[in-house]
Amino acid sequence: MYSDLKYKRLLVFFKRYRFHIIPMVFHKVSLLLTFLRLKWRVFFLRMLSRGKVSNIVEIRNGFTFTRGGKISVGNNCYIGERVNFEISIEPEGVLTIGDNVWISHDCHITSWGSISIGNNVLIGEFTSIRDTTHNYKEPEIPIRMQGEKIGKIVIEDDVWIGRGCLILGNPEGLKIGKGAVIGANSVITKSVEAYTVVGGVPAKFIKRRGQ
């Protein structure tokens, strides 16, 4: 008798609130599936890269990376859609990303040497960061057979890199100083001083922040 009454009450409750309950359940399930997809990408990166990857990272659809590459990612980082980390195994390339870094969609980072990205860095979409380039000195030899010039890139804290930039490292080392701003579609081939704004192809000094 009690069980029948309980069943009827549940049935009445469900009929009365079904239009609220069903969407809520679907919403919760959708959130759970999204969370699991994001965490799966982080788990995949942690398992197949040779570095330290924080569990507090958001990685979006289409992310690819070199399996076995030495990649480290700090806390509270965002890696957008279709971002690619191409990290050399031999010679060994190293990519180190600090905390609170935002990498927008369709960015490409290639390291045969060393790339270090500090904390609180913003990287706009379609940006390419490469520490290595081709040798092309000898005109009689095909460029693809002349090997590579392996360099180093250091991007310090609080740097904002605009949309569509190309940053090319060199053997002497390229550094973008703390708080620098790189204008959209710029090409960076030389070091940038801290707290300066640069832009253009190749990038040139525009002003110092705060002036």
Positions annotated as catalytic residues are 134
Q: Taking phi first (over 0 means left), then psi (-120 to 50 degrees means alpha), and beta for anything else, what does residue 57 get?
A: beta
Q: What length does the chain have?
A: 211
Contact 150, 188 (CB under 8 A): no
Contact 12, 32 (CB under 8 A): no
d(CA 172, CA 134): 15
Q: H/E/C letters for each residue in 84-146?
A: EEEECCCCCCEEEECCCCEECCCCEEEECCEEEECCCCEECCCCEEECEEECCCCCCCCHHHC
